[in-house]
Structure formats: C-alpha cells, structure tokens
Structure 1
Amino acid sequence: MFMTYEWAQITDSAEELSEMILQSEQAEQYRAAYNAVYNDKNLADEIAAFARLKDQYEEVQRFGKYHPEYSRVMKQIRIDKRRLDLNEKVAELRFAENSLQDLIDQVSFIIGRSVSEAVKIPSSNPFFSSDSSCGGSCGTGGGCSCSA
C-alpha cells in the first residue's frame, strides 16, 4: 500500500488524538492509581501472588473437584480476591481503568459513527454498542437472531 497525502493526514490525526487521550484527566488518574498500586511493594507482591494463584486455579479447573488441591485453591482464591477487591488503592485503579476505558469507548463510538451507522464498535459499555440485535455474538455461529 502506498502512502498518500490523505493517508498521512489520517495518521497524523490519529497520533494527535492518541496524544490527547494520553494527556487526558482520565489517563492522568489512571497513571497515578497504577503507580500507587505498583509502587506499594506489599500490594504489588500480593498481586503477583494472586496471579500465581490464578494459574493454580486454572489448573484445578481442568480437573474440577477431583484435583487434590481443589478445595484449598478454591477457598484461597476467594479470600485473596476479596482482600484485593477491598483494597482502596486497587479499587481506585479499577475505577480509573473503567474511566479511561469509557473515554476510549466514546472516542471509538464517535469515530465509528462518523464513518457509518453500520460500523460495529467494540465496547465494554453497552451504551456504545451497536443498536442492532446483532450485538457482538454473530461470529459464534448463530448466537444472535440476525440474518446474514
């Protein structure tokens, strides 16, 4: 594909938009919350331990209740997840992630709709999802009621 003047303008505009998102209040809050979590050595260690436990959880799930560690891992993952969920810094990070994701969803929605109403826009927010009944599961082989 050849780089045309129009394509160069689109690329420049995309980079400018990206920079605006990176400088947004939502991105600043996300970076601050991320740093608060991962600069706290004890909390970062807890998160790393939880990630290792999640690996064990996936292994246990393969065999279900027949796995010798099933009960221990299932109990421990609930305890650790709850402890992390109740941590104020982790909660602030999740809120900041969701806020930044909402901004990105809004931008994607605006760009997609400026191209065409028919453009499918992936989104974590149902407000920005496609209005049609073909919502996002058409690729699963009949998961929706639309006709191709």
Structure 2
Amino acid sequence: MVTTMTDINILQESHQFSEIILESDTFNDYVDLKQQVQSNKEAQTMLRHFRSLKESYDEVQRFGKYHPDFKKITKEVREYKRELDTHPLIAEYKNAEKELENLLNEVSQIIALAVSPQIKVPTGNPFFDQASSCSGGCGSGGSCGCG
C-alpha cells in the first residue's frame, strides 16, 4: 500500500479529533460519572446483584420456556433492570455514556466521509446509518443507490 499525502492528512485530522474528544466536556463527564459509579457502594452492590441475576437468566435461557423457573427469573431480571436503570447515579452515567457514543458516532461519520462518501459507518443510530448508507443496496443484493 502506498501512503499518500491525503492519507497522512486524514490520519492527522483523526488524531486531532481524538484530542478534541479527550478534552471535551462529554468525555470528562463520562469519566467522572464512571468513577462515581465505581466508587459508590450502593451502585456496586446493585450491579453485582444484577450480574448474578443475569447469570441465572442466561442459564434459564438455555432451556427457554421449558425451564421450570423461566417466568420467575425472567420477571425478576426485568424488574431489577428497571430498578437499576432508575437509580439516579446509574441513570446519569448511562446518559453520559449515550452522549459519548453519539459524539463518537458523529466523529466516525466525519472521518469516513473525508475518506469516501461510499464508506458505511454502522452506528446503531438510523439517522447516521441513513446518512452514510446506500439505502440497502450494494451488499444487500438490492439495486444500489450509491453515487
């Protein structure tokens, strides 16, 4: 592979993006909240309990609805997940995590478009996926709408 000045410029811009991200309020909020969750005894106890419930749930899922505790365990996991998601610190952490994910998706999109408009960036977000994709063409067997 031959490296061109365009490749070098893209790499430099990518590095600048990463520096901007590391200095952003979004990233700093995420790191601060992650540390708060890790040092909060109540949150850690809840997370440990959820992990043990999740292990039980995974065991039950191997047999599906034929497992004798299927309904009980499934209900417990859903209810506890709801309780976990509504814990103020954990909810705030999840929001910060989502904000950081959105920022990284935007940056990935910008970098991909700088290389080529045909690059697809799977973001898990239909807004970004639609902006970068060919409406199901190319690899999906449909007629491609790429330019």
Range of TM-score over shorter length:
0.7 to 0.9
Counterpart residue number, 1:32:
32
The one-character-per-residue Cα deviations of 1:47-78 (angstroms, maximum 9, x if unpaired) are 12212211221221121122132233112102
- Aligned residue pairs, count: 141
Percentage identity across paired residues of the two chains: 39
Q: Which consecutive residues of structure 1, in runs of 5 or more, have no partner in the other structure?
A: none
Unaligned runs of 5+ in 2: none
User: Which residue of the partner structure matches residue 125 of structure 1?
Assistant: 125
Q: Distance in 2 between matches of 1:9 and 1:70?
A: 55
Matches of 1:61 and 1:126, distance apart in 2: 29
Distance 1:32 1:112 in 2: 29
Letter in 2 for 1:97: E
CA root-mean-square deviation: 2.6
Q: Which amino acid aligns with 1:134?
A: G
Give the whole-Å Cα distance in 1 for the aligned partners of 2:141 and 2:12: 40
Alignment of 1:97-116 (within 5 A): 97-116=97-116
Q: Please identify runs of 4+ aligned residues in structure 1 that moved more than 3 A.
A: 4-16
CA shift in 2, pair 1:117/1:103, >3 Å: same
- Checking the alignment, whether the CA contact within 8 Å between 1:112 and 1:120 is kept in structure 2 is yes
**TM-score after normalising by structure 1:** 0.80
* Structure 1 residue corresponding to 2:142, chosen from 128, 137, 146: 146
Give the TM-score normalised by the residue count of structure 2. 0.80
**Contact 1:29-1:96 within 8 A present in 2 as well:** yes
Aligned to 2:71: 71
Q: Please identify which structure carries the higher helix content.
A: 2
